[in-house]
């Protein structure tokens, strides 16, 4: 009737509960068959054989409960042994040597599988943690290139806007409607070069001095400079995309590292439990062998 642990895989839960039902039904059947103290020996033998394979999934969710039942059965077996001894019984003691050896072999196979998976996960973890050095170098290079491109773009835009701004005053005095967007924002010359250069050509005969020199420079250099600017901006976009790719890969790898570390910890805990169980079984086997040796009076 005990509630199973929360947050358990549904498939595992279903199998464990099915095994629990079978396990409980079997124990009830064993005990319900008792009619006298003399029946207890045979019943304990049946229970001990049944316990060899009572369910691996049941152990995953109700390990402590099964061990408690095992402990109670062991105590019952010990009490029955005392009863037989004190009532003069000299039959062969109830032993599970064969069953214990089978359980030990099965547990050793499980330990081997756990150790194999742990080894693979630790190797994968090492591979994941060795990647960042080269990745960080690449990321640092791309970020450095991004800053260089930003400086070049900013410098070039400033140069072009500075040259165009020399026409601001003469165009303002001319009060041309088509000059209004440029007078509002000098970036108009960069964003709408065709319209701006048409305006420059239109007013060119009326210009002189610095404004005329600026017009000569703009008519000659604005198109190629804008081509250069567009190429720099396209390269910057590619670099930004590459930086995002590297950062995304780094984030995915950190997540995989975290999950792998958690899996390693769970397997280490499981391996510790398996080895403790193996040690307990080996001690139990030695105890059973001593009982047999004492009964037979030989090694």
154-201, pLDDT tens digit by residue?
999 898 988 888 888 888 888 888 888 888 888 888 888 888 888 888
pLDDT at 93 over 80: no
Q: Cβ distance 271 to 167 under 8 Å?
A: no
Q: In this predicted structure, what is the pLDDT of residue 228?
A: 92
Q: In this predicted structure, what is the pLDDT of residue 295?
A: 78
**SS3 state at 22:** helix
pLDDT at 274 over 60: yes
Q: Give one DSSP letter per residue of 39-88, joined into a string.
A: HHHHHHHHHHHHHTTS-HHHHHHHHHHHHHHHHHHHHHHHHHHHHHHHTT
Output 251 or 257, whichever has higher pLDDT.
Answer: 257
Structure confidence at residue 132 as a pLDDT band (50, 70, 90):
low
The stretch 37-51 carries a mean pLDDT of 77
Q: What's the rounded Cα separation, in Å, for the pair 34 and 183?
A: 106
Q: Which residues neighbour 199 within 8 Å (Cβ) at sequence distance 6 or greater?
A: 171, 176, 178, 179, 182
Percentage of the chain beyond pLDDT 90 is: 30
Output 274 or 172, whichever has higher pLDDT.
Answer: 274
Q: In this predicted structure, what is the pLDDT of residue 265?
A: 93
Q: In this predicted structure, what is the pLDDT of residue 3?
A: 86
The stretch 227-256 carries a mean pLDDT of 88
The stretch 229-233 carries a mean pLDDT of 92
Cα 206 to chain centroid distance, Å, stands at 71
Q: What's the rounded Cα separation, in Å, for the pair 196 and 219?
A: 10
Q: Cβ distance 60 to 12 under 8 Å?
A: yes
Q: In this predicted structure, what is the pLDDT of residue 175?
A: 83
Q: What's the rounded Cα separation, in Å, for the pair 286 and 264?
A: 33
pLDDT at 50 over 80: no
Residue 264 CB neighbours (<10 A) = 16
Q: Which residues neighbour 195 within 8 Å (Cβ) at sequence distance 6 or greater?
A: 178, 188
The stretch 100-126 carries a mean pLDDT of 93
Structure confidence at residue 114 as a pLDDT band (50, 70, 90):
very high
The stretch 287-295 carries a mean pLDDT of 87
Q: In this predicted structure, what is the pLDDT of residue 264?
A: 93
Q: What's the rounded Cα separation, in Å, for the pair 290 and 297?
A: 10
Q: In this predicted structure, what is the pLDDT of residue 87?
A: 64
Q: Which residues neighbour 85 within 8 Å (Cβ) at sequence distance 6 or greater?
A: none
Q: Which of 126-135, 147-156, 160-169, 264-273 has the lowest mean pLDDT?
A: 126-135
pLDDT at 283 over 90: yes
Maximum separation of any 2 CA atoms in the chain, in Å: 134
Output 1 or 277, whichever has higher pLDDT.
Answer: 277
pLDDT at 54 over 80: no
N- to C-terminal Cα distance for the chain? Answer: 46
State the average pLDDT for the chain. 86
Q: In this predicted structure, what is the pLDDT of residue 90?
A: 56
pLDDT at 294 over 80: yes
Q: Give one DSSP letter per residue of 161-193, joined into a string.
A: HHHHHTTHHHHHHHT-GGGHHHHH-TTHHHHSH
């Amino acid at each position: 009737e005990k509630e199973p642990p929360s947050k358990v895989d549904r498939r595992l839960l279903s199998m464990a509960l099915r095994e629990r039902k079978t396990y409980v039904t079997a124990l009830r059947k064993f005990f319900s068959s008792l009619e006298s103290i003399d029946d207890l020996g045979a019943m304990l033998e049946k229970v001990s054989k049944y316990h060899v394979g009572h369910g691996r999934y049941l152990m995953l969710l109700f390990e402590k409960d099964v061990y408690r039942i095992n402990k109670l059965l062991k105590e019952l077996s010990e009490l029955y042994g005392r009863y037989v001894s004190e009532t003069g019984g000299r039959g062969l003691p109830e032993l599970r040597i064969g069953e214990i050896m089978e359980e030990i072999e099965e547990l050793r196979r499980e330990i081997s599988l756990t150790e194999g998976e742990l080894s693979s996960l630790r190797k994968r973890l090492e591979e994941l943690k060795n990647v960042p050095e080269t990745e960080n170098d690449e990321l640092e290079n791309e970020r450095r290139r991004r800053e260089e491109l930003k400086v070049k773009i900013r410098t070039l835009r400033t140069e072009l806007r500075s040259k165009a701004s020399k026409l601001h005053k003469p165009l303002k005095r001319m009060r041309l409607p088509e000059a209004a967007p440029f007078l509002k924002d000098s970036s108009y010359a960069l964003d709408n070069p065709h319209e701006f250069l048409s305006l420059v050509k239109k007013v060119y005969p009326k210009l002189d001095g610095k404004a005329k020199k600026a017009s000569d420079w703009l008519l000659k250099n604005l198109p190629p400079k804008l081509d250069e600017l567009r190429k720099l901006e396209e390269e910057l976009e590619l670099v930004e995309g590459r930086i995002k790719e590297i950062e995304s890969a780094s984030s995915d790898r950190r997540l995989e590292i975290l999950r792998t570390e958690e899996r390693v910890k769970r397997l280490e805990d499981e391996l510790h439990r398996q080895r403790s169980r193996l040690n307990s079984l080996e001690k139990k086997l030695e105890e059973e062998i001593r009982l047999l040796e004492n009964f037979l009076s030989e090694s």
